[in-house]
Amino acid sequence: MLLAGFRTGNGIPDGKTRFRALLYMNRKPHRPRSRVSSGEDTLEVSEESGGSPDPSPELGPPAQGYSHAPVLLDEVVSYVPAGARLLVDCTAGGGGHAAALLERFPEAELLALDRDPHAVATLQSRLESQGSRVVIRHSTFSRLPSHLMVESADFILADLGVSSPQLDQAARGFSFLSDGPLDMRMDPGSGGPTAADIVNTWPEQELCRLFMDLGEERFSGRIAQALVYSRDQRALRTSGELARVIHQAVPFKFHRRGRHPATKVFQALRIAVNEELEELSKLLESAPGMLRPGGRLAVISFHSLEDRKVKEAFRTWENPCVCPSEIPVCVCGLTPLGRRLTKKAVAPSAAEISTNPRSRSAHLRVFEKRPEAVPEERS
């Protein structure tokens, strides 16, 4: 269920933010102005979710132009354990991390997954020369256990979020800087609901909650009202139409230079459409059992909702004890699964951010599963 990802209480803004949003919902409905894009209504450019406008609704050949700069590449490779034999890239995308891992560990084999069929086509083309060393699957990473039924992995990588090619193709509907069908499905063939389905059918209260819980949007109530009013006049069908309604709903004095007012709403819709937090939760539930002793899980996240989940999971794996603090000795019997190799998240260097601005919000966390205990020799 789509609502499950943001009804659990994870990442919910504080009570003051929620109260302000509910106050907005009781105000007189906000009616967007009729003019489309002149003066203060002109869409701003944001480096986070922009791209070259492409009015064509048709996607180009997936193996052409699916170019994605892998973030924190050197850092990721440095955390692979020595002698690794089986590597997993859960979100292989354009194959940047995958190719670097294969080059750095020539004896290793790689399982590459991606839910985007265009990314899978790119992977097949890019990694074809590796032959039997690589197995590529069109799959969500929540289904990883079904692909690792025999062996356990030495290293699992999950690079979360949306990729540059997905943002840059207007036909995917991810970007508010280009006008395309309001889709946002990472796997367009999945048959699941689109962003257009959500904004045109969900009740105002549910839209408000979505934007608060998954976007941490200050003006969620005002934006939800504007969307309902706009769709009553005509259904919202394109990313450009949605962006304009949001742009006009947010008071102009709160517009920030270099950050579009629609950023958080587009994030919330994308997360809901693709059930991203549910996918991440399933991965975190199964990952410890898929790692060999001494194996490592590396997760790159791009916003606080994801990073918080990863941080809390790693902390619990390292210290699972649930005994009351007043008990001096642990009696719950829960033992640590391993240790965090990154007490603080690893961020991109200034040099990387200068060449790839979209990397600036990336956070890398790595966990190492406890090695097998070496039996003591009897004297």
191 domain-assigned:
no
Q: Which residues contact 44 (CB under 8 A, 6 or more apart)?
A: 255, 257, 258, 259, 260
**Is residue 65, in this structure, part of any structural domain at all?**
no
Q: How far is CA 10 from CA 5, 104, 215, 277, in A?
A: 8, 37, 12, 9
Domain count across the chain: 1
112 vs 41, more confident: 112
CA distance 37 to 162: 27
**Residue 170 included in any domain:** no
Does residue 185 surpass a pLDDT of 70?
yes
Q: Which amino acid is at 374?
A: V
Q: How far is CA 194 from the centre of its chain?
A: 17
In a domain, 247, yes or no: no
CB atoms within 10 A of CB 205: 12
Poorest-confidence range of 83-87, 147-151, 276-280, 342-346?
147-151
Q: Which residue has the tokens 């967007």?
A: 32
Q: For position 358, what pLDDT does the model report? A: 86
Supply the mean pLDDT for the chain: 83
- Print the domain residue range for 88: 73-164+276-320+332-369
C-alpha 246/C-alpha 219 separation (Å) is 10
Max mean pLDDT range (26-30, 206-210, 249-253): 206-210
Query: 83: domain CATH number?
Result: 3.40.50.150
Is there a domain that residue 149 lies in? Answer: yes
Residue 318, both tokens: 């390292």
Which residue has better confidence, 90 or 5?
Answer: 90
Q: What is the pLDDT of residues 62-91, one digit of tens each?
A: 444 456 689 999 999 999 999 999 999 999
Instruction: Say yes or no to pLDDT of 50 above 80.
Output: no
40 Cβ contact list (under 8 Å, min separation 6):
252
